[in-house]
Every structure is written in C-alpha cells, then in structure tokens.
Amino acid sequence: MSKIVLIGANHAGTAAANTVLGYPGNELTVIDRNDNISYLGCGTALWVGRQIDGYEGLFYSSADALRGKGARVLMETEAKNIDYKAKTVTVSDKGGKTEVIPFDKLIIATGSVPIIPKLPGIGLENIQSVKLFQDGRRANELLDDPNVKSAAVIGAGYIGVELAEAVQRRGKRALLFEAESRSLASYYDKWLTDDMDSKLRDGGIELHFNERVAEFKGDKKVSAVVTDKGEYPIEMAIMAIGFRPNSELTAGLDALPNGAVKVNRFQETSERGVYAVGDCASIWSNASGADAYIALATNAVRSGIVAAHNACGTELASPGVQGSNGISIFGYNMVSTGLSETAAKKAGFDALVTDFEDWQKPGFMKDNHKVKLRIVYDAKTRRVLGAQMASHENISMGIHMFSLAIEGGVTIDKLKLLDIFFLPHFNQPYNYITMAALGAK
Ligand SMILES: Cc1cc2nc3c(=O)[nH]c(=O)nc-3n(C[C@H](O)[C@H](O)[C@H](O)COP(=O)(O)OP(=O)(O)OC[C@H]3O[C@@H](n4cnc5c(N)ncnc54)[C@H](O)[C@@H]3O)c2cc1C
C-alpha cells in the first residue's frame, strides 16, 4: 500500500485522482486551496457571453465524488511546504489549522496563475483576470452592471479574443488591446489570423493592435486605460496576457526558465517519487523535439493520468504532445496543431509551408463554406511540423490527423496520396488535404 498525496485538484489533479482511485489499496489524500474542483475555464466566455444558460454544467467532478471513491479530500486547504527528505507536505486550512501529511509518492498539480504586469493603476477595482470560477463570476457581475458600458480586454490570445466576444455579446463596447500586430499570433500565421481579425472587426470589436498598455487610471474604480497610442475611457478591464506556472511550492526541483517543473516522460520530477502534472509542469513537444510549456486542459488531463499510473507502479510513458488547440469566434472556427511557420522558424527549423483554400463541399451542395489549410514542414527531413485550418464549417476533426502525423514523424510526401474518402455531404474528390500536400515543393 502506498500513501499518495496530490496537491491541486483541477483538471490535472482530478484526472490523477480518478486514476489512482482505480487502483485498489492505496491511501490517497487530495489537497486544494479552492472551494471547487474541475472548473472548465474554457466555458467562462460562453457563460459570461450568455451563449450557455449558466455555469452549473462547467464542473464535471466534485470533492464529494472523489470522497465517494475513497479519497481523503481537504478543500480550502493550502499546501504550504514540501519536505522532500522527510517526505511530508505541510498544509493549513482556512481556519489556520496546520497538519503534516506523510507521503510515499507525491503528485504536484498546482497549475498556473495569470500574469499580472506591474502597471500603474493595476490594483484599481473592476480590473479582472479570468482563471478561477470566482473570476468568471466577478466578470459576469461586472457586465451585469448598467454603469459598465465599455470594457478593455488586454491580450488577444485565445482567452482575450473569447472574452472580447463575450463582452460584445453582452451589448457592451469591447476594446481589444494587443502589443502584437494581430490576434492569436502564438498559434496561427498571418494568412489565417487576417481572417479572424476581420471577423472580430465585423463582430463589432474595436481592435487596438500594435498598442501596448502602459497604465490604468481611476479613482478606486478603473475609468481609463492608457496605451502608447492614446487614452480610452472604460469602466472595466479584463487582463488576459497569459499564464505562468505556479511555482510557489516547487523551489529546489529542476525547472524550465519560466518556472515550470521539468519532468521526464513518466511525469517524474528531479526528485524520485515526486511527479508534476498539468500547467505547473513542462511537457515534451513532438513538433519541436524539446521540453515546452503548453498550458492546456487536454495536456493537464493526459499528464495527470500518466503520473498516476506511474505513482501506482504501472510504468507508462507519455507520448508527448503537439499542442493541438481550437477556437470558435462568431461562428468562425480555427484549429491548429504543432508549430506555425513563425514558431517553426523561431525554433530553428528550415520551415516551408504549403497552403490550399477551397470550398468544403462540391459547388452543387447547399450550405457550403470555404476552408483554409496550411501545412508546415521541415525542408530537410520533410517531416510535418504543424497544420492550421480555418472555416465557418466544423473542420475540427481534421486537425487530429495532423496531430498524429506529427507524433509519428510522418513526412509531407506521405500525405500526398493518402486515402481520404469522398462524399459530397462532407468534402470534395480533390480533398484540400491532398491538394495542399501535392502542392508541397
Ligand atoms: C478562461 C480560460 C479558458 C481556457 N480554455 C481552454 C480550452 O478551451 N482548452 C484547453 O485545453 N484549455 C483551456 N484553458 C486552459 C486550462 O484551463 C488549463 O490548462 C487547465 O486548467 C490546467 O489544469 P491544471 O489542473 O494543471 O491547473 P489549474 O487549473 O491551474 O489548477 C490548479 C489547482 O491547484 C490548486 N492549488 C494551487 N496551489 C495550491 C496549493 N499550494 N495548495 C493547494 N492547492 C493548490 C488550485 O486551487 C487549483 O485547483 C483555459 C483556461 C482559461 C483560464
């Protein structure tokens, strides 16, 4: 029997807990400082933007569900210190009561925290980040306030873009600020983001790209955002410039430069028997062939499962990830996996791209939309490094094939005559995947 302690019970932690609880005979203690677990942050914009009826469906587990399976669950209890030599975790509950909990195996799933820049006025009221359920609830309340007529969203990554859409859907003026020249620059190349930027503009969002926020002004509550280009009156701001690994507890463990705990393919840290999973940990990128930091719920769940099996004595190596992701804004869908051309060149690859744009279905079909596909590949090895797709169609499943291709080291040439079915309801006989691959130099 092993004493397994798990710190953090959101996506990575819940996946780890459920996996551990599938093994008989272990003693699992779960610790989380929040009062809820398994909150799907990906639903925040849908809830705040009234695309779904409420937040209730955004939780898929609970402390009681884990207790029902045999775990000891300590909610609103913070892990304060880990003693790796003594193999103990010291925790403190909200009443200040402390306890020292011994472990044989430890899984750290403490996640990430929003990056909050040290700008003048950042502490003013009505400046909100969106991470926890409580943050979503506060953003929702602020948008209920009739005095809030306009909101600045800072950062046009996927969370900022989704929240700008939500603000606009609530009938408020949405101003989206981004230091880069376009939205979603970390995931997609300009050929695709140009379309997304048009959709955002057409949807009524004011785009302030190439504009860096320098200050917030106000008396108690925020009343203006100041950038290097101008000053804009607002009643609310949403901070969405990114997340950093929560490294409060992990001093002493090997880490990436941003503080993410470095793990091997078994999710084990530099300390034996201690695992790190989800947003607080590094992850192996098959696209770049290096340790990376890719904070996604999907990676959190998979890494939680891997760590739990290893902690329970079943050796299981992670296959690594491609960073597959998607976004849907005003009905325009974008999905990507692996590296964009920009990211591949930055990572030192001699990257080439092949692009194809066509209708999803034959011209005689009704309800048809254009699809854009870009495949990124390495000029030397011809290995597929990434793919990006965009359309009003639901093209989401197509990207998974590219994810597998990257994981398997498949070359662009292998995709040229790949057997892809044709049925007018779904696609064309000259499929855009085939056509893009055939167009590769
Ligand atoms: C608005 C938003 C939208 C998103 N959309 C998507 C999406 O569409 N798709 C996708 O894949 N990902 C999405 N993500 C990212 C995804 O939510 C994260 O990658 C995921 O939450 C990471 O899970 P985690 O369990 O590793 O960490 P976290 O969710 O950060 O959870 C960490 C847990 O650890 C607890 N904790 C931390 N420190 C301590 C301590 N000292 N003691 C006790 N407990 C502690 C916290 O209370 C928390 O419960 C989104 C994120 C946000 C914020």
- Tens digit of each residue's pLDDT (9 = 90 or more) over 257-307: 999 999 999 999 999 999 999 999 999 999 999 999 999 999 999 999 999
Say what the pLDDT of residue 1 is.
Answer: 82
Nearest residue (CA) to ligand 1, atom 52: 41
| Positions in the chain short of pLDDT 50 | none
SS3 assignment for the chain: CCEEEEECCCHHHHHHHHHHHCCCCCEEEEECCCCCCCECHHHHHHHHCCCCCCCHHHECCCHHHHHHCCCEEECCEEEEEEECCCCEEEEEECCCCEEEEECCEEEECCCEEECCCCCCCCCCECEEECCCHHHHHHHHHHHHCCCCCEEEEECCCHHHHHHHHHHHHCCCEEEEEECCCCCCCCCCCHHHHHHHHHHHHHCCCEEEECCCEEEEEEECEEEEEEECCCEEECCEEEECCCEEECCCCCCCCCECCCCCECCCCCCECCCCCEEECHHHECEEECCCCEEECCCCHHHHHHHHHHHHHHHCCCCCCCCCECCCEEEEECCEEEEEEECCHHHHHHCCCCEEEEEEEEECCCCCCCCCCEEEEEEEEECCCCEEEEEEEEECCCCCCHHHHHHHHHHCCCEHHHHCCCCCCCCCCCCCCCCHHHHHHHCCC
Torsion, Cα 228 233 238 244, to 10 degrees, reads 20
**Binding site membership of 170 for ligand 1 (Cβ less than 6 Å):** no
Pocket test for ligand 1, best of 296, 299, 400 (most atoms within 8 A of CB): 296
How far apart are the CA of 112 and the centre of ligand 1, in A? 6
Pocket test for ligand 1, best of 39, 40, 42, 107 (most atoms within 8 A of CB): 42
Q: pTM here?
A: 0.97
**Binding site membership of 249 for ligand 1 (Cβ less than 6 Å):** yes
**Binding site membership of 79 for ligand 1 (Cβ less than 6 Å):** yes
Work out the end-to-end distance of the chain between its first and last CA atoms, rounded to an integer number of angstroms. 58
**Binding site membership of 8 for ligand 1 (Cβ less than 6 Å):** yes
| CA–CA gap between residue 154 and residue 108 (Å, rounded) | 30
The token pair at 306 is 């891997």
Please list the active-site residues: 11, 42
- Tens digit of each residue's pLDDT (9 = 90 or more) over 166-199: 999 999 999 999 999 999 999 999 999 999 999 9
How far apart are the CA of 271 and the centre of ligand 1, in A? 23
**Ligand 1 atom nearest to 114, measured from its CA:** 53
**Binding site membership of 160 for ligand 1 (Cβ less than 6 Å):** no
